[in-house]
Structure formats: C-alpha cells, structure tokens
Chain A
Amino acid sequence: MSTYKILLALLGAPSAWFIQMSLSEPLAAYACYPHQVPLTAPLWVDLSAILIAISLICLAGGLISGYVAWDSWRKLTKSGSNGKIFVVDEGQTQFLAMLGVMSSFIFIAAIVFTFCAVLLVSPCSAWT
C-alpha cells in the first residue's frame, strides 16, 4: 500500500474536521459579532449557506478518506485470508490501515455533529 494512501486514510477525516471547525467558527463568530457590538442578524445574508457548504465539502472529504481507509483495510485482510506464503510485514501496515478506519469513523461523526450544530442553531440567536 502506498504511503500516500496510508496518510490519506489516517489523516484525511481528521483534517477535514479540523478545516470545518477552523473555517466555520471564525466565520460564524465574525458574522454575528464583527466589531464592538453583537448583531441580531449575520453580516452576510448567505452565512448559513456558506456554513452548510463548508460542512458538506468537509463531509465529502471525510467520506473519501473513510472509503480509502476501508478499502485499504479490506485489501490487506483479503491478502492475509488467501493464505499467501509471503509475509506482508510485522502487521504494522494492517495496524495503520485499521487506525485509518477508526479515525475516519470518529472524525466523520465529528463532522456530522458539527454540521448538526450549524443546521439546528440560527446564527445570531440569543440563548433564551
């Protein structure tokens, strides 16, 4: 398995979630509180659409990473179950692929959770 695939499987979904958070939070915060006074409506009318688009793109990135991780894991376990004589390695590649599957699962869930926050809470509402 190529190094790039392993890296994508391991880091793709976490990176997508990190990007989602790093873009959504400052945009949402600035749009509702740009200077000294909080606003009752966002600075940009399309804020919700922008936040949803960010979340969807990141979700797609997470899913791609998850697919690569799953595919890598499946191929590695298949090659093992065929009973081939050659030794793949000491198990480290399978371990990394499994880490990729688990990491993708957790961070896809994180992207969905964050997406829910964007969908369910109106941007500049008060906690009342």
Chain B
Amino acid sequence: MTFSDTKQNHPDSHLERVPDFGCAPVGSDAEVRLAEIWETTPGWRGWFSTVDHKTIGLRYLVTAFIFLLIGGIEALIMRAQLALPEQSLLTPEQYNQLFTMHGVTMIFLYALPILSGFSNYLWPLLLGSRDMAFPRLNALSYWIFLFAGIFMYASFPLGQAPNAGWFNYVPFSGPIYNTGPNIDVFALGMVLLGISTTVGSINFIVSLFRMRAPGMTINKVPILVWGTLTASVANLIAIPAVSLAFFLLWLDRQVGTQFFDVANGGKPLLWQHLFWMFGHPWVYAIVLPAMGIVSDALPTFCRRPLVGYTAVALATMATMLLGFQVWIHHMFATGLPTVALSIFGAASMIISIPSAVAVFAWIATIWLGKPVFKTAFLFFAGFIFLFVVGGLSGVMTAAVSLDLQLNETYFIVAHLHYVLLGINVFPVIGGIYYWFPKFTGRMMSETLGKWSFWVMFIGFNIGFFPMHIAGLLGMPRRIYTYSSRMGWDSVNMITSIGSFIFAIGILIFLANILISLKRGALAGSNPWDAATLEWSTPSPPPAYNFAVIPVIASRHPLWEDRLNENSKRSSLTQGYLLMEGHETLGTSPIDAEPVTILKMPGDSYAPFFVGLFVSLFFVGLLLHWWYFAGMTAAACCITLVIWMWPRKSLAQRTAPKTAHLSGRSP
C-alpha cells in the first residue's frame, strides 16, 4: 500500500553495484579517504572552483548580508532626510535613486538570497545527503547572483541608479520619461538575477525529491525544506513573468517596441499585471522559508516537537498557492471593475487562514513546551508578534474600500516592513544565532545576543509602528520632503529615531559575530540538544557531510529515545558506505527508498566562467557593445560545452533493492 514512486530505468546492467553497509568512524581509513575525495583544493583555485554546498551557502549568507547592510545604510540616509520637514540633505533625484535601490537591494539582493544561503548550507545536512542534486548549478546560481548584484549597483556611483521604485511602473520607467541608463541597468539586472533564481530553484526541487536519506519519507522532512520547496516551485512559475516584463520594457526603451506605450496601443497595466503576477508570489517566497526556519528551530528551545507538523506543512503550501491569485490586490486603485477587485479581495483575506494556522502552531509549541529563553528563541518569539501585526494590517488592506484610502500612503510602507523585516530579518538573525555553531564550530555570545534582540525589537517598533499613523494622517510614500504644516513632524522624527536604534541593534549583532568568530566558546556537534539531522554531524561539518548515508526512522532522529514515539530508531553511525569517488545515494520521491548511487561532479571552474560570461553578455547589451556581447555569448556556450561534456565516471549506479532491504536492519 506504499505510495508508488516512479520506476527506475536500468540503462546498463553493468552499472549495478550493491553499496556496502557499515560504519566509518572519525579517523578510520574510510573516513580519511572520504575527506580526501570531497575536500576542496586549498588556495585561489579551490576558491573559484568549489561546488561544496556549505561554502556556497556561507557565501550566499555573507553576500546577502552585505547587501542588507548597504540597503540599511540607504534607509538611514532617507530617514535622516525625513527626520525633519523641508530638509535638503538629498535632492529629489537622489532620493528617488536611494529609495529604489533600497527596495531593489532588500527585496531582490537580500531577502531571497539570504534564505538560499540557509537552504544551500542546510538542505543536504537536513536531508542526510552529501551535496545538492546539481552542485555545479549551485555554484553557478551563486556567481550569477553576485554578478547581478554588482551589475545593478554599477551605475549607482555615477548617479544613474534605477530611480522608478522597485516595482518600476511604466510610463515613468519608459523611454519618454526616463531617458538615462537607470532603468536599463535595472531591467537587464533583473533578467540576469532571474537566471540565478531559476537554476537555484530547480536545484532545490530536485534535491528534495532525489537526495533524501533512506527512510526519510515525505512526511518526515523538516518544515524549512517545505518552505524552500514551496518558494522554489513558486519561483519557477513567477520568475518568467517578471523576466518577460523587464525584457519587454528593455525592448521598448532600446529597440522601439511599444508594449507599454499607450500612445501607440501599448498597455501600461500590462506591466503591473506581469510585475505583480511575479511580485506577490515573490513576497511569499521570501517569507515562507524564513517561517520554516522558525518552525524547525523554535521546537529546540521549547524542548518538544512542533505542534501540528502536517498543518504547518500544508499552511506553507496553501499560502503559496493562494499567493498566486491575489496579485490584483496591488492594483485596487487602477480602475479595474469592482467585482473583479472583490474576487481578489476575498482571496487575499483567505490567506489569513493558513497564516493563522502557522501562528497558532508556534504559540501552541511554546505553550506546551518548556521554553529556554536563549537569544534565538527571543528572535523567533519576536517574529511571531511582528507577523501578527503585519498580518493584521495585511488583512485590512485586503478590503478594497479601505485599501483605496490607504493606497500609496505610509500605512502600506509600515505593513510591508512589518511583514518583510518581521518575517524575514528576525527569523534570519535568529537562525544565524541558532546555526552559527554549526557554521563555525563556535557559540555566539548570549549577552550580546540578548542586547542585540531587545535593541532591534524596540528600535523596529519605534521605527515602523508610527508609519501606520503617518499613513492614516495622509502622508504619501516616496516623497523626498514635506511641509511642517502637514502635521507629520512628530511621527517622522520618532520613525527616524527608531530606525537608528534598530541599526544599533544590527551593529551589536555584527560585533557579536566578529567577537564570537575569534573568542566564542567551542561548540560540540549538538550544542542546543536539537532533534534534526544536521546536528548529528561535527561542527563545522566535514566536506563529505556524512561518513555514511544514514537511515532515518522519524522526524526527530536525535530525540527518538526521549520521545519514544515508536520502536524504530534511526541509524546514524551505520549506513551506506559510498566512497568510490563523489558519491551519494539517490532515493525515490515519496518513500525515500534507495534507487541509485549518484555520481556527483567535483569542483570546476566552469560555473564561475559561465556566470562571468553571461554577466558580461548583459554588460554588452547595456552598453550596446554588440560584438562584445556576441563574443561573450560564444564564450559562454563553449564553457557550457566543456561543463556538459559527457564522462563515463559520472554514469549513475543503480542500487538493487536487495541492498536496501539488507541495509534497513543494521
């Protein structure tokens, strides 16, 4: 009665091999051999060629955090400008570029990439695998993300940065009203970034369905995995819409097409539809994996499993699916017919059901558990509060008539910051406190951690709550200054003070990281006494992750004796020995039965060079260097051929069923 999986083809019976089942303790010949096979070459060669998911994950985390800091500095400059009425610290054009780059940076260069960092680092460790399904694609995804970020910032020092807001509405962003290169940089940069996100998403989806440890059936995967999977599927569907929108806009601007030019039969609303068909699912893509971080890490500090695992997994997927049919709530003021708006208003309100399910599950986990008030717990608990506040203002704006009043005011700015900072930044920083010992082998300071939480939490609420009031007082968003007669002075001053307090909290967090990297207490493999698989590996984990591929019997492999849910126990020290090259086990999608030995590719320069050439191709398009663009496209194709060149050593070995059966009873 087992749910049937896809049957495997056996292309070549000579490839069959029965993997050994045994153990490889630290220091044994087998373990030493594994380390030699998987470790990256030291020095610059290894730096450019590594495909280790942990290195890539950490690079994502560091790069995205640098973008967060850049976006944060932009925000502080804007708050300095708005602290008092009629200030002239910034010109209107500078302000336009600052708020645009702030949005672009936070939404596209920080919010999703930081979650990709967590997922890249953690997925194989959570799933019991030695790497992601496509290690080189993983490296390519990072390099393109990095180059896209540099690309989008390249025009900033020249005063030619994108300046039409992160959703870049036409006709203002069209060729008539925006004649500089500002929008072209944004348009091409977004298409480039879309490639990174797409290949990354494919990697996550395939990894989940092919790379789980034997026994980790679909009902045993951590919620973070559900969150990232859902976001990845959504990205694959949503990214084409925005890539198309930006490509059409670039054609309008550079080739003379008129997709968005109303004077020539174009449709400005087409931009809004294409952008928000992407934009709203994207908003969920940048919060659902963060909610997954909380769902997985919070139970550790409550000393009990998550309440309502199935309900939270379903809530994650349902939120995303509902998120695909609510994009018009960003367009309530565009004059669309009323019943059409009402349909989308109703759909937007429905999202409160799965959101509430998740919130009640977290609260019940805390209520029924024995909370340990560590820094990470504080960030997760703070997140729940901010999520509720942001969610409530979201339900309010789902009502069309109220949204018409609040549209384009600071109320919306308050809502989106509660949602994005509250549901992304707080879980992310809590997640860093939680997994820092795994990343580095050292603990972070709890004293500094608690200071950073309280300063951030207080600063955040002082900074962003008054924005609701500013909005209700009628203050429009995206104005570079205001008159003192408008009555907005106090709320703006309070907001600016709060934003600087929040920034101090971030600085304390950064100081904690730097100090802990040098002087933090050494962490064992499981310093929090957590339940999930990544904590069974040393801190930091070795290059091969698991000396043997474990066999999993429950959702909480490290708490099985304590929970005693059934008589089965996971086998973590004994498992499949795979050491004839870069090997890991491929399993079936639902039942996680071993079906094949996956021969994984090793380190390679190809992802770096493909990323570089693709990015240079976009530089060529931006600068109209057509020959240069052609040459880089050709170079990219040649590198891809080298990358894809078939090799016998990468042929997959099928693991016969007998191996699995004998292996399940260690």
Contacts and interface: CB of A to CB of B under 8 A. Distances in A.
B44 interface: no
Contacts of A106: 314, 318, 322, 350, 353-354
Given A92-B3, A102-B310, A117-B345, A32 B318 contact: no
B4 A32 contact: no
Contacts of A110: 322, 346-347, 350
A53 interface: no
A98 B317 CA distance: 14
A107 B319 CA distance: 11
Interface of A, helix, strand, loop or mixed by DSSP: helix
A33 B336 contact: yes
Interface stretch (B85-93, B175-183, B215-223, B620-628): B215-223
Contacts of A96: 3, 218-219, 590
Contact of A95 (B310, B349, B400, B404): B310
Given A32-B340, A99-B314, A92 B217 contact: yes
A51 to B, nearest CB: 7
B340 A28 contact: yes
A6 interface: yes
Contacts of B314: 99, 102-103, 106
A117 B346 contact: yes
Contacts of A29: 336-337, 340
A109 B350 contact: yes
Given A92-B219, A95-B219, A118 B318 contact: no
Interface residues on chain B, size class: 35 or more
Interface string A77-113: 0000000000011111111101100110011011001
Contacts of A18: 321, 324-325
B404 A113 contact: no
Interface string A30-64: 01110000100000000000010000000000000
A98 B313 CA distance: 11
A32 B339 contact: yes
B311 interface: yes
A31 to B, nearest CB: 8
Contact of B339 (A51, A90, A113): A51
A17 B344 CA distance: 12
B1 A123 contact: no
B342 A121 contact: yes
Contact of B342 (A3, A6, A93, A120): A120
Contacts of B310: 95, 98-99, 102
A89 B338 contact: no
A51 B342 CA distance: 13
Given A96-B218, A102-B314, A124-B337, A3 B343 contact: no
Interface string B277-320: 00000000000000000000000000000000011011001100
A127 B311 contact: no
B343 A117 contact: yes
Interface of B is mostly: helix
A106 B640 CA distance: 45
A29 B2 CA distance: 46
B220 A90 contact: yes
B27 interface: no
A32 B217 contact: no
B343 A24 contact: yes
Contact of B590 (A92, A103, A126): A92
Interface string B388-407: 00000000000011001000
A91 to B, nearest CB: 5
A14 to B, nearest CB: 5
Given A106-B354, A114-B346, A117-B345, A99 B338 contact: no
Contacts of A92: 2-3, 217-219, 590-591
B446 to A, nearest CB: 37
A114 B340 CA distance: 10
A58 to B, nearest CB: 12
Contact of A103 (B318, B342, B345, B591): B318
A29 B331 CA distance: 13
A25 interface: yes
B1 A89 contact: yes
A29 B341 CA distance: 9
Given A92-B218, A96-B3, A113 B321 contact: no
B401 A89 contact: no
A99 to B, nearest CB: 5
B82 interface: no
B219 A28 contact: no
Contacts of B347: 21, 110, 113-114
A18 B346 CA distance: 13
A46 to B, nearest CB: 14
Contacts of B343: 21, 24-25, 28, 114, 117-118
B325 A89 contact: no
B346 A91 contact: no
A120 B339 CA distance: 9
B591 A25 contact: no
A99 B337 CA distance: 36
Given A102-B310, A114-B343, A3 B4 contact: yes
B338 A125 contact: yes
A14 B321 contact: yes
24 contacts: A3-B3, A21-B347, A29-B340, A32-B337, A32-B338, A32-B340, A88-B2, A89-B1, A92-B219, A93-B2, A95-B219, A95-B310, A96-B219, A106-B354, A109-B353, A110-B346, A110-B350, A113-B346, A113-B349, A114-B343, A118-B342, A123-B337, A125-B338, A126-B338
Identify the 9 closest CB pairs spanning chains A and B, nearest first.
Answer: A95-B219, A32-B337, A117-B342, A29-B340, A92-B217, A113-B346, A117-B346, A121-B342, A90-B217
Given A17-B325, A118-B343, 9 more contacts: A1-B3, A25-B328, A25-B340, A88-B2, A90-B215, A92-B218, A102-B318, A106-B322, A124-B339
